[in-house]
Amino acid sequence: MGITHECDYPASIGDQPRITASRISHETMTSAEIDHAVRSQLDGHGSIYDLDEKKLRELQPDLILTQELCEVCAVSYQTVERAARSFAADVKVVSLEPNTIEDIFANIQLVGELTNRSKAAGELVNELRLRLEKVRARTGTISYRPRTLMLEWLDPPFAPGHWVPEQVELAGGDHAFGKAGQKSVTTTAAEIGAYDPEVIVLIPCGFYKEDIVRQLPAANLPEGWNDLTAVKAKQVWATDATSYFSRPGPRVVDGVEILAKILHPEVFGFPTDDEAIRLSEVRA
């Protein structure tokens, strides 16, 4: 078995050979620098990832899981398929492209079928659905749904897409700032100001809480940031985007549960420090 450079969950997979690498460093580059590097590479039809074709060939896989959902998130499908065909014409290359929570569940079922784990996959999906229903049942009776801004990138700011607006709705928040099932897109200070969020959750794609805290001092936050209701009320939070919001896997349900605690602690209790950090001083 081989994994990507970003595969870090569960911890038991850590010893598996890694067949991809990123040319972008979250540790040394600011949000603006990362955005510029990504746009420069992709506009020039390049890639921000490297694929170790030699190692891939040595592994001799009969199944390769990849994606075409986002060209920024992983090695492109075309690159993977071309490399796979170079050493084995009959290798199965499957692209997973979920846009919604239901799509994620369907992908889990599909991977279960492809790996002869259909029963386990079905049991997992059933468990995930039950957890979502428990949250939905409790938020369904809540009349107050705070205006919630999920920032999928800091500089420039990105409005949420794909399954994130669904997560907000399930957790009892107003999900108007974002398009469910569609790509995340850049937004503006004017749009953010007009929405005037009551809660802001920072979920820059691929970042952990520690990455966000490290990036914030150098981030060029939108004009008018300090006047936003959420900032004045000190309702700005950071959570592990890469664990609970960026990756289309089972932990998106954890993300819903964490969001419910952020938005409605009076119902769900406050999130632990491991789940989310309340940033008391985030000034532009």
Looking at residue 216, its pLDDT comes to 87
Picking from 118, 104, 106, the residue whose alpha carbon sits closest to that of residue 256 is 104
- Report which of residues 85 and 165 the model is more confident about: 165
- What's the mean pLDDT when you consider all of the chain? 88
Neighbouring-strand partners of residue 20:
51
Looking at residue 167, its pLDDT comes to 98
What single letter denotes the amino acid at residue 280? S
Are 63 and 94 in contact, with CB atoms under 8 Å apart? yes
Looking at residue 77, its pLDDT comes to 65
Question: In this model, does residue 178 exceed pLDDT 70?
Answer: yes
Q: Count CB-CB contacts under 10 A for residue 184.
A: 22
Q: Is the pTM of this model over 0.85?
A: yes
Q: Choose from 1-5, 181-185, 191-195 the range with maximum mean pLDDT.
A: 191-195
Q: Give the pLDDT confidence of 191-237 residue by residue, as tens digits.
A: 999 999 999 999 998 899 998 988 888 888 999 999 999 999 999 99
User: What does the alpha-carbon distance between residue 164 and residue 17 come to, in Å, rounded to a whole number?
Assistant: 31
User: What does the alpha-carbon distance between residue 66 and residue 185 come to, in Å, rounded to a whole number?
Assistant: 23
Looking at residue 69, its pLDDT comes to 66
Q: pLDDT exceeding 90 applies to what percent of the chain?
A: 55
Note the Cα 166 to chain centre separation in Å. Answer: 13
User: What does the alpha-carbon distance between residue 56 and residue 17 come to, in Å, rounded to a whole number?
Assistant: 9
Q: Give the pLDDT confidence of 23-65 residue by residue, as tens digits.
A: 776 666 777 777 766 666 654 445 677 888 888 888 888 898 8
End-to-end, the C-alpha distance of the chain in Å comes to 45
Residue for token digits 């789940």?
275
Beta-strand pair 161-162/179-180: parallel
- Strands in 148-151's sheet, in edge-to-edge order, are 148-151, 199-202, 236-239, 276-278
User: What does the alpha-carbon distance between residue 3 and residue 247 come to, in Å, rounded to a whole number?
Assistant: 15
User: What does the alpha-carbon distance between residue 136 and residue 13 come to, in Å, rounded to a whole number?
Assistant: 33
For the chain, domains (ranges, CATH) are 11-97 (no CATH), 118-278 (3.40.50.1980)
